[in-house]
Amino acid sequence: MKLAAAIAADPKRGFSSLAALSVSEWMAAARRQFHDRNGRLPGTRFEHSHRPPIARLHAALVRAYAIGEWWRADA
């Protein structure tokens, strides 16, 4: 949730929803947030541990905002 709040609070972004952003854009925001906290770029382990849950969250948001019967998306 902190990552989503950081993305939404960025005044330079012009988007209508978090689902409109790509997984790569979410990862870039996560790397920026890591850098801001630690003063260095994250290592490769960061990518391996953060990309899968971000991709799952992104897929869930895209499904939830899709037109139609979203609850049947997993069927």
Residue type, 58: H
Number of compact structural domains in the chain: 1
Whole-number Cα distances in Å, 51 to 28, 35, 45, 62? 10, 16, 10, 16
SS3 4: helix
- Residue at 39 is within a domain: yes
> Residue 46 has what pLDDT?
95
- Residue at 49 is within a domain: yes
> What is the model's pTM?
0.68
> Residue 2 has what pLDDT?
66
DSSP classification of residue 68: S
pLDDT single digits (tens) 10-36? 656 555 667 778 899 999 989 999 999
- Residue at 4 is within a domain: no
Angle at alpha carbon of residue 74, lines to 61 and 62, rounded to 5°: 15
Average pLDDT in the chain: 80
Domain limits at 47? Answer: 21-68
The pLDDT > 90 percentage for the chain reads 41
Q: What is the mean pLDDT of residues 32-47?
A: 94
Q: Which two tokens stand for residue 65?
A: 């905002």
